[in-house]
Amino acid sequence: MPYYESPVDGTRLHYVDHGPACGAVAVFVAGAYLGHEMWEHQMLPLAEAGYRCLGLDRRGHGRSDDVWSGYDLDTLADDLQGLLDHLDPREATLIAHSVGTAEVVRCLTRHGSSRVARAALVCGVSPGIIRSQRLPDGLDPAVVRADEEFFRRDRPAWFTHFADAFFAVTSAGNEVSDAYTRYLIDRCLVATPRAATGVRSVVTGLDLTAELPAVDVPVLVVHGTHDTSAPLAHTGERLARLVQNAVLKVYENGGHGLFFTHAERLTADLREFLGAAGATAATTGICRMLAAAGIGG
């Protein structure tokens, strides 16, 4: 079971490494409360198609260490950069969901893009969703405080209460079994209370409006029309306008959980976005040497 140490404080962080070692690299960053397993419907088919898929469990999530500190955006971005430094990929594609999109943006603006060729931001909360001076149409802070009280009082009930809205199940085509909903809630509850509330604090204070224009790699923005967690007009559309080289793909009826309800379409879009990198990786010297030796996927 692979781990590496955070460059910030030595926290032991878990990751998975699926697919051929010489494949084009896709690094998956999960949304709040979830570990890498949320991406199974993207990572597995992409790894089977020849891409090297890396999935990170952020601190306090999944199989990473349960620690008290480090739930600020700079540290979380440094943890992500630590994985890139540990594995030393070239021309990686960063793929993130929800609050993970903020970690990717901060990683790029804080550490640069020497290892990164592109980024896909799925259902992102960037640039921010809470009302502030630069985000005047964001959520009312009083509503957010009431939601935080509910979350702290009864996390299992909170996840259950919002599950249907998360997947936008009342919209056409969004079929989710009770078993899968229960599974994902159980995975969310693996995140420690400290990690869960810490990541929520990142969202509460998030405003990347001034930071997004500094992102210097091509960006694919994917968002659903029925995302109640991160409304399209406040996040995906605004994000695509602020990033210099961004393409926005809007999924009709998609909710925040479109990684499941629209899994095949998302995987296809990601594969298309990764396509040029895949063609490049297939012709690298290391792949040719591995193939000649009968090694690799």
- Based on the residue annotation, tell me whether 256 is a catalytic residue of this protein: yes
- Torsion sign across C-alpha atoms 127, 132, 138, 143: positive
Over the chain, what is the mean pLDDT?
A: 93
Per-residue pLDDT, averaged over 128-153, amounts to 92
% of the chain residues with pLDDT over 70: 93
> Which of 36, 226, 256, 262 is labelled catalytic?
256
> Which of 98, 126, 262, 269 is labelled catalytic?
98
Q: Which residue has the higher pLDDT, 195 or 296?
A: 195
**pLDDT tens-digit map of 252-265:** 999 999 999 999 99
| Helical residues (DSSP H) of 168-292, grouped into ranges | 178-188, 193-204, 236-242, 258-261, 263-282, 285-292
> Which residues, at least 6 apart from 199, have a Cβ–Cβ distance to it below 8 Å?
32, 33, 58, 71, 99, 191
Q: What pLDDT is stored for residue 118 in this prediction?
A: 98
- Based on the residue annotation, tell me whether 227 is a catalytic residue of this protein: yes
Per-residue pLDDT, averaged over 20-34, amounts to 97
Q: What pLDDT is stored for residue 286 in this prediction?
A: 52
Using the predicted structure, report yes or no on whether residue 281 has a pLDDT greater than 50: no
Using the predicted structure, report yes or no on whether residue 129 has a pLDDT greater than 80: yes
Using the predicted structure, report yes or no on whether residue 84 has a pLDDT greater than 90: yes
- Based on the residue annotation, tell me whether 6 is a catalytic residue of this protein: no
Using the predicted structure, report yes or no on whether residue 284 has a pLDDT greater than 60: no
SS3 assignment for 27-79: EEECCCCCCHHHHHHHHHHHHHCCCEEEEECCCCCCCCCCCCCCCCHHHHHHH
Cα–Cα distance for residue pair 253/226, rounded to 1 Å: 5
Using the predicted structure, report yes or no on whether residue 295 has a pLDDT greater than 90: no
Strands (E), 149-234: 219-224
Using the predicted structure, report yes or no on whether residue 7 has a pLDDT greater than 50: yes
The confidence band for 79, taking pLDDT boundaries of 50, 70 and 90, is very high
> Which of 64, 227, 229, 234 is labelled catalytic?
227
Per-residue pLDDT, averaged over 213-238, amounts to 97
Q: What pLDDT is stored for residue 134 in this prediction?
A: 84
Q: What pLDDT is stored for residue 291 in this prediction?
A: 43
Q: Could you tell me the strand order of the sheet in which 52-56 lies?
A: 3-5, 12-18, 52-56, 25-29, 92-97, 116-122, 219-224, 246-251
Cα–Cα distance for residue pair 175/266, rounded to 1 Å: 16
pTM score: 0.93
